[in-house]
């Protein structure tokens, strides 16, 4: 059985830091390229940054066997690009 997680910050409920997180409202959108393996780490700072700064767009990057990078926008999984 997995331990319960906070739905907002994604940390374990015992480690939840939501009360400490400020919300930053800025007119700027940030785009982050994140390797798909990094997205699975427990200390995924991109998830935390998304809680603080709502206008963040995350693009998942995956290196294929060909050595090229392939990315997909998590908002639109059909959108692939070469980086």
For the segment 3-40, what is each residue's pLDDT rounded down to a tens digit? 898 988 888 899 898 899 888 888 888 899 988 888 77
The band of 73, judged by pLDDT with boundaries at 50, 70 and 90, is: low
Tokens of 31: 């785009």
Q: How far apart are CA 46 and CA 55, in angstroms?
A: 12
Average pLDDT (50-76) is: 69
Mean residue pLDDT of the chain comes to 76
In this prediction the pTM is: 0.58
């Amino acid at each position: 059985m997995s331990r319960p997680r906070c739905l907002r910050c994604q940390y374990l409920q015992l480690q939840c830091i939501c009360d400490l997180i400020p919300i930053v409202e800025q007119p700027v959108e940030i785009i982050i390229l994140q390797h798909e393996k990094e997205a699975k780490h427990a200390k995924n700072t991109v998830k935390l940054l998304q809680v603080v700064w709502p206008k963040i767009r995350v693009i998942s990057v995956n290196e294929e066997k060909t050595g090229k990078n392939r990315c997909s926008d998590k908002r639109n999984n059909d959108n692939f690009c070469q980086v």
